[in-house]
Chain A
Amino acid sequence: MKKNSLQEKYLIFRIKHSKDPQAYAQLYDFYVDRIFRFILFKVKTVEDAEDITSEVFLKTWNYIRTTQKRIENLNALLYKMSRNAVVDYYRSKQRTEELMSDEDQFKKIMRARDLDQEIDNKFELKNIENYLNQLKDEYREVIILRYVEEFSINEIAQILEKTKGNVRVLLHRAMQRLRELMGE
């Protein structure tokens, strides 16, 4: 199923109209991995990411069920809810961003993954994640959305609620910063 496809719209309709849990289950299957990943890059701990992800899906269910507005873009909706949930999370826990050592980071990420992943890449992956974490949240976010999730500028603009121009500029600056950090 593609995002924002007719099939998706039909599922949303079923949820709204008949409160069909199975329809929502299908949407969950489709989106959960990506949402989880997105949140993980923001909160860095797996447990937190798991908690927040479940929270996001529950909230989204309620939102679809009760809103009078037409849901144009579920994808954007989920990401927006995720961002908001992360913000709320930080506010409520009043956490400060922990600077982590490379190794801790590495371990954490490995825990989150299926162990039959390609291990060859892990060092490089480790590196880049390390650098990503050094970026400010805004930059990291846009890079993830663009190069990991492979969204178009348009889609990112919808998720971040910015203009396309803003997104391009932001992305450009983010990539520059990343390159600087990586010493290229």
Chain B
Amino acid sequence: MSNITEQLKELQSVKPKKDWVEQNKEQLISQITAQTPQKQSTVFGYWYLVKMLVPMRFLNFVAKPVGIVTIALFAVITSGIYSVNASRGSLPGDMLYSVKLTSEKVQVTLAISEEKQTQKHLDFANERANEIEKIIQQEKDPVKKQEQIFIAADNLKKEMDHAQVKMEEIKVKVQEKEKTQKVLEVIKRIDQQSEELSDKLNEQKDQVTENKESVKKINEAVNAANKTGIKAVEVIVDKYEKGEADISSEEVFLTVEKKLQQAQDKIEQVKEQEAQTEELKKEQQEETVVNEEEPSAPEEDSPQDEDVSPAEQTTEPEVANSQTAQENAELAKELLDQGDLSSAVQKVIEIEIITSQIEETADEADGLMELQVVREQDQQEEVQESETVDNSTEEEIEISR
């Protein structure tokens, strides 16, 4: 057996003639060189090289799955990015709106420093205001309009709350002078931005005066923006008084004075509102008396009574409130003149609380009265309908005779 294998092995000596080998080779080369070379794209070329060099098993079980997973991940991430981008223009009520809000939250988290986060909140509050603008222009359906404004304004308020919380943190935490300087720049900017925001919202409010609910909501947003601005000033004053900020006393003084002025303007505004609400309530009280004489709609009386009595009760404190606000304003002026800036700011804060309260109550009352008016109208329609029914049945009876 081994003999055979040895013998067989020796057959390896069988070889072609060298001459022939050379000749054939030349022939072969000339034949193949004669063929016109086609250019392949380099990308595929290198892929072939890789394919050549890498054993197939690896390619199939490791490289390809890895490649596929990577592409899949990439696709998911890109579509995520795409939908985030697409969500930019979305409004409350749109499907992508929640994506928008989420991406905003992510952006806040990514902004590492507190002042940057505060800035982000301001930016997004501004975005909410823009949304409201768009809603007012685009949305025709009044119900949807109101809902959407509600959502946008509500979210705006939230942003303002976040901003205020952040600024409180800044006030407490940031103390080194260099850092404070940078932060202060941002805070000043925030004050400015919140003013602009207020103005914007007020303009929008004028465009939806017919819808009391929306007006009410937007007012809340305005107040939130104002509060943010005041907070910013509070931080500035705090840093100034502690000596942590490089800011002139004149600048701080002017800033506080400006806020005080704004607060006083607000007092004037709510005074008017108060007066109007008073008027409306008085009219309503008279009507209630008239309505009680009619047999129909006994149910309407009780809510009206409820409206009237609390209104009577709150009439006095409300007037007192705006008066209180006024008193506070005067106190603040004195403190400012004395140079006690932080106390002045505290007064301004109190004024803001009072004025927003007044406004809120006024808006509530407005809203309720509107509701009543609507109910009364409905009620009247019912009465008319029942009359027509009576008439028609009478006719029928006549005909049947």
B13 at the interface (CB under 8 A from A): yes
- Bound form: Cα–Cα A128–B20 in Å: 26
Q: Which residues of B contact A49 (CB under 8 A)?
A: 16
**Are A128 and B7 in contact (CB-based, < 8 A)?**
yes
What does the 1/0 interface line of A118-154 toward B look like (CB < 8 Å)?
1001001101110000000000000110011110000
Residues of A within 8 A of B27 (CB): 54
A167 at the interface (CB under 8 A from B): no
Q: Which of B9, B12, B16, B33 contacts A32 (CB 8 A)?
A: B16
- With A54-B28, A61-B32 known as contacts, the answer to whether A113 contacts B1 (CB < 8 A) is no
A143's closest neighbor in chain B, by CB?
Answer: B8
Indicate which residue in A10, A54, A121, A144 contacts B52 across the interface (CB closer than 8 Å).
Answer: A10
- Contact, CB under 8 Å: B18 / A61: no
Is B15 a contact of A37 with CB atoms below 8 Å?
A: yes
A149 to B5, CA, bound (A): 12
A1 interface contact, C-beta 8 A: no
Residues of A within 8 A of B38 (CB): 19
- A148-B12 in contact given A9-B53, A28-B25 (Cβ < 8 Å): yes
Closest chain A residue, CB of each to CB of B50: A13
A100 on the interface (CB 8 Å rule)?
Answer: no
Interface window among A80-88, A90-98, A175-183:
A175-183
What's the Cα separation between A117 and B5 when bound, in Å? 19
Q: Is B14 touching A109 in the complex (CB atoms < 8 A)?
A: yes
Contact B53 A10 (CB under 8 A): yes
A104 at interface by CB-CB < 8 Å: no
Give B46's nearest chain A residue, CB to CB: A17
Q: B21's closest neighbor in chain A, by CB?
A: A32
Report if A79 contacts B (CB, 8 A): no
Q: A125-B7, A148-B8 are in contact. Are A117 and B13 (CB under 8 A)?
A: yes
B16 touches A112 (CB 8 A): yes
What is the size, in residues, of chain A's interface with B at 8 Å between Cβ atoms?
55
Q: Which residues of B contact A54 (CB under 8 A)?
A: 24, 27-28
Partner of B11, one of A12, A29, A71, A129: A129
Instruction: Pick from A17, A61, A147: contact of B8, CB below 8 A.
Output: A147
What is the bound-complex CA distance between A7 and B9, given in angstroms? 27
B303 at interface, CB cutoff 8 A? no
B61 to chain A, nearest CB (A): 15
Min Cβ gap A95→B in Å is 21
The answer to whether B13 touches A71, judged by C-beta atoms less than 8 angstroms apart, is: no
Interface of chain A, main secondary structure = helix
A114-B28 contact given A143-B8, A148-B12, A182-B4, CB 8 Å threshold: no
Instruction: Compute how far the CA of A80 lies from the CA of B15 in the bound complex, rounded to whole angstroms.
Output: 20
Q: Does A70 contact B (CB under 8 A)?
A: yes
Judge whether A178 and B4 touch: CB under 8 Å: yes
* Contact assessment for A70 and B56 in the assembled complex, using a CB-CB cutoff below 8 Å: yes
* A72 in contact (CB, < 8 A): yes
B31 interface contact, C-beta 8 A: yes
A125, B52: Cβ atoms under 8 Å? no
Cβ-based interface call for B37 (8 A):
yes
- CB-based contact A28/B12 at 8 Å: no
A65 to B181, CA, bound (A): 71
User: Could you tell me if B1 and A179 are in contact, using CB atoms closer than 8 angstroms?
Assistant: yes
**Contact A50:B28 (CB < 8 A) given known A17-B45, A19-B35, A70-B51:** no
In the assembled complex, the Cα of A18 lies from the Cα of B48 at a distance in Å of: 12
Interface residues of A in 46-83 (CB under 8 A from B): 49-50, 53-54, 57-58, 61, 65, 70-72
Is B29 on the interface with A (CB-CB < 8 A)? yes
Assuming A13-B53, A128-B11, A182-B4, what are 7 further A-B pairs, CB within 8 angstroms? A53-B16, A61-B28, A70-B51, A121-B13, A125-B7, A175-B1, A179-B4
Which of B's residues lie within 8 Å of A, judged by CB?
Answer: 1, 4-5, 7-18, 20-21, 24-25, 27-29, 31-33, 35, 37-38, 40, 45, 48-49, 51-53, 56
| A-B CB contact pairs (8 Å), 17 listed | A6-B53, A10-B53, A16-B40, A19-B35, A24-B32, A32-B16, A33-B15, A36-B21, A50-B16, A53-B24, A58-B28, A121-B10, A124-B7, A125-B10, A125-B13, A147-B5, A175-B1
